[in-house]
Amino acid sequence: MRWSGNNDSQMMKNRFKDYYKRFIVWRMRHISDRGFLLALSVLVGLLSGLAAVLLKTLVHLTNRWLLQFNIPTFLGGNLLVLVYPAIGILLTIMFVRYVVKGNIGHGLPSVLLSLSRKNGVLPVRNMYSSMVASTLTVAFGGSVGLEAPIASTGSAIGSNVGRFFRMCAHDVKLLLGCGAAGAIAGIFKAPIAGVLFVIEVFMFDMTATSILPLMLSAISASTVAYFLMGNELQFAFTVVGTSGLSQIPYYVVLGVFCALVSLYFLRVTDRVESWFARLRQTPRAVVGAVALGVMIFFFPPLFGEGYAFLTELLNGSDSLLFEHSVFAPLHDNKWVVLGFLLALILFKAVATATTIGCGGVGGTFGPSLIVGGLSGYFVCMLSNQLGLPEQSTANFALVGMAAVMTGVMHAPFMAIFLIAEITGGYALMVPLLVASSVTYLCVSPFEKHSIYARKLAEQGNLLTHDKDTSAWQLMDLRKLIETNFVVVREGDKLRDLVEAIKYSRRNVFPVLSDDDRFMGVILLDDVRHIIFQPECYDTTDVVELMHPLSEGDIVRLSDPPSEVVNKFRVGNRYNLIVVDDDGYYQGFLSRANTFSAYRRFVSSLSEE
């Protein structure tokens, strides 16, 4: 029976492969590549939308179920929130260690790396790993967002769908972007924001080739979300009052404040995660789970995503902020409320980094949205408390959301249209533009890249809209090193050099020490006058014949490509000697080969 079952299974696999090959051949004969790409973008959007709805629903149902249990202490608060995050972290670590067997992290940096270095190829496991792990983390109170994991999931869906149907590398990358656009559009019911997310965060070029598939995917995902979750928006809200010229200075101040908050968020998350990375896994998980539980105990809005209390703030109520909080008795004091809001702004960044650093899985998209809403509410409430003309706290909270997202993610248009779409209107467009622009202008001199891209940029692995810069950054110059040069040693005589010239096709001869350290070069043109003098063969050392070199003639393996290119251009050199950081000879880089490879690389990056 076992043999029969195995045989049947093999027959089914063979039959599937046969049908699969037939379909691929039929598709290539009857459906154009462009038409099939558009069809797949719709499919990817539908799958990404389903994944977004599933993730959001599971997390919200689990959150609601867990928070219905309450064990108060003599201080107030809920004792169970000290335990819930630890359970979530433990389950996540076990899932990552024993099921995924690899690192997940934020998710989006790995997608950006895939676009830059791997032609958009993502492992099959990425279609479920981030989604499952983030569900375990956030459902039990981890203070992170679901947006980055679901965008990573959507990207993996797009990548693997494209590869399954044997699309070219360019189309696989585009379908990867379609998956991310669909995921963001599905989770927020915001198709325009989904497309702009891919353009600004993934740095896709907005061309005729890319925009239609991205839009189809985002619209498909939004349709799925509306069908399964109803017509309610994430933050159903009616804008209060109008935004006249007199209010612009207030939004400028808000933009500056949000810039400071964005820089704080970026620096704190980076330092806290780096601190946790230096610990071993067990103490890292224990310390992180305990710290997270304590923060949530004193500040319950840090539990999970936090969208519920943010919705209450937009509706003009701050009572939910203090639910199950030890500070609940002080709720009526406005200055206490202000202090509580400021504490939430500061601790949200710490809680987010702690969740990720100790082993949880989630993103910073949602937390930046939360911190922005708190910042806008805080600025407006402080202004009102100081006796300045009354402003709408809800309007400021919405604008603050866009401003902080702009500062953290370097995606101003995505942030602006996301707020417009999730609130169902564009009445706040001018304040959104003013505050987001001010925040971006203040943050960009200090942080050149988004929270997702900055580490990749430091490593030279980031693909940007500037194709010229990207080409030099992403080209692997090590593959261009030429090693077909005949070397001579420091103890050799002219006779040895003449012998090397006989067998060399190059006119440059590296001189190395006995342990292969680079010492210099000999140029054939410099020794023509002496190689025909046999009497000098045994009396002349090769080191006496070395051509004078400067630092501009030598590059190291660790040098950034931009420095290599600059040496070619400024010095007008035709060859550069390559050594490692310890001075060991590696070979030569040719100006002609390097710039030819650059032209080929730029051509491969072209969208059209």
Residue 387: both structure tokens together: 């006796």
Q: pLDDT at position 475, please?
A: 65
pLDDT under 70 in the chain at which residues?
1-8, 73-77, 104-106, 205-206, 232-244, 424-425, 453-454, 456-476, 571, 601-608
> Nearest 5°: CA angle at 516, between 512 and 520?
25
- E strands present in 101-200: none
Q: For the chain, what percentages of helix, strand and coil (3-state, to nearest 5) are there?
A: 65, 5, 25
Q: pLDDT at position 242, please?
A: 55
Q: pLDDT at position 608, please?
A: 42
pLDDT tens digits for range 22-71: 888 888 888 888 888 999 999 999 999 999 999 888 888 888 888 787 77
DSSP 416-462: HHHHHHHHT--TTHHHHHHHHHHHHHHHTTT--S-TTTHHHHHTT--
Q: pLDDT at position 1, please?
A: 43
Residue 376: both structure tokens together: 């806008």
Residue with tokens 């050099």: 497
The Cα–Cα gap between 50 and 173 comes to 21
Q: pLDDT at position 571, please?
A: 67
Q: pLDDT at position 469, please?
A: 59
Q: pLDDT at position 158, please?
A: 92
Taking alpha carbons only, the member of 408, 452, 359 closest to residue 142 is: 359
The Cα–Cα gap between 19 and 14 comes to 9
pTM flag (> 0.75): yes
Q: pLDDT at position 345, please?
A: 94
**Structural domains present in the chain:** 14-229 (1.10.3080.10), 245-460 (1.10.3080.10), 472-605 (3.10.580.10)
Q: pLDDT at position 244, please?
A: 65
The Cα–Cα gap between 113 and 107 comes to 10
